[in-house]
Amino acid sequence: MASGQEISLFSGYNQKENRHTNYCLLLLKQLYEENPRFLAEALDGITGGEGDSVIGVQFRQQQKHGRTIPDGVIKQQAFTLFVETKNFDWFYDNQLERHLDALNDEHEGQKVLLALSKFEDGYDDEFEEIERLCREKYGGEVVFSALSFEEFLEAVRIDGLSKNLEDTVDELETYMDTENLLPDWKHMLDVCNCASNIEEQYDHNVYICPATGGSYSHKRCRYFGAYNDKHAQVVSEILGVVELDSKNPDEATVQWNNS
């Protein structure tokens, strides 16, 4: 079995997926080194509360073990987390199933498989088979969790972090943003000149323009601003963008579905 590489600031990985994984694990490592409770809280957020994480050494007195009660016990619960990272939402069930088998062969303790990706449009139905295997084949002993990079950042933003760790989380967010891993469209406003057709927005909640590109190109955004008389008179949430063909009116292409 290959020994793998230590998590490092200077990973040297060429593949982006490996770099994304390295930086996420490095942050989890820093959380643990500052306070094991921070890592436990982060893992609780990552698994949606299913992990029941107990991280770090536990100190107990007069705790019964089998037929004996030692005066003191120092114990650490086993924990294994596998991470499969993709730049895009494109996972293979057979690869995830191999990860589940390997996790199941690990020693006792908590076992979690994490699928980490961009996941802009949700993932409710994508992993039904993997979740079924966790329930039926492994009896719930292996926990599966799918997480977007945005959700990962939310999980590691824990109350009580030091200023250095807060800055590190912010730096990781900046890195993810520059790598186009975050759904920045959710925070963007598309302002369009509607001086000649502002009533369409008032009466029909729709904006229509030629699908010719150039000044009519529209980057994916969450909000739409109807500009008229030197200001955006209407700001609406975009449900979706559909391209129609005037020559084939029955045909339409959904460009984005934000809803």
Distance of CA 193 to the CA centre of its chain: 35
Residues of the chain above pLDDT 90, percent:
38
Residue 237 forms beta bridges with which residues?
223
pLDDT for residue 20 is more than 90: yes
What is the band of 115 on the pLDDT scale with cuts at 50, 70, 90?
Answer: very high
Residues in CB range of 39: below 8 A, 6 or more apart: 28, 31, 32, 53, 55, 56
pLDDT for residue 120 is more than 90: no
pLDDT at 23 (0 to 100):
92
Residues 217/230, Cβ–Cβ less than 8 Å: no
What is the rounded distance in angstroms from the CA atom of residue 152 to the CA atom of residue 53? Answer: 16
More confident residue, 230 or 130: 130
Mean pLDDT value across the chain: 85
Residues 136/156, Cβ–Cβ less than 8 Å: no
Tokens of 195: 């001086």
What is the band of 96 on the pLDDT scale with cuts at 50, 70, 90?
Answer: very high
Which amino acid makes up residue 46?
A: I
SS3 of residue 210 by DSSP: coil
pLDDT at 9 (0 to 100):
59
What is the rounded distance in angstroms from the CA atom of residue 194 to the CA atom of residue 200? Answer: 9
What is the rounded distance in angstroms from the CA atom of residue 112 to the CA atom of residue 83? Answer: 9
For the stretch 144-164, pLDDT in tens is 999 999 999 999 999 999 999
- If one counts every other C-beta atom within 10 angstroms of the C-beta of residue 209, the result is 13
* Axis crossing angle, helix 149-156 with helix 36-46, rounded to the nearest 10: 150
Residues 113/99, Cβ–Cβ less than 8 Å: yes
* Axis crossing angle, helix 149-156 with helix 163-178, rounded to the nearest 10: 170
For the stretch 174-195, pLDDT in tens is 999 888 898 877 888 888 888 8
pLDDT for residue 5 is more than 70: no
Tokens of 83: 């991470």
Tokens of 133: 């295997």
For the stretch 130-145, pLDDT in tens is 999 999 999 988 999 9
What is the band of 1 on the pLDDT scale with cuts at 50, 70, 90?
Answer: very low
- What sign results for the dihedral spanned by CA atoms 91, 94, 99, 104? positive
pLDDT for residue 127 is more than 80: yes
Domain ranges for the chain:
16-182, 185-257
Three-state SS string over 156-167 comes to HCCCCCCHHHHH
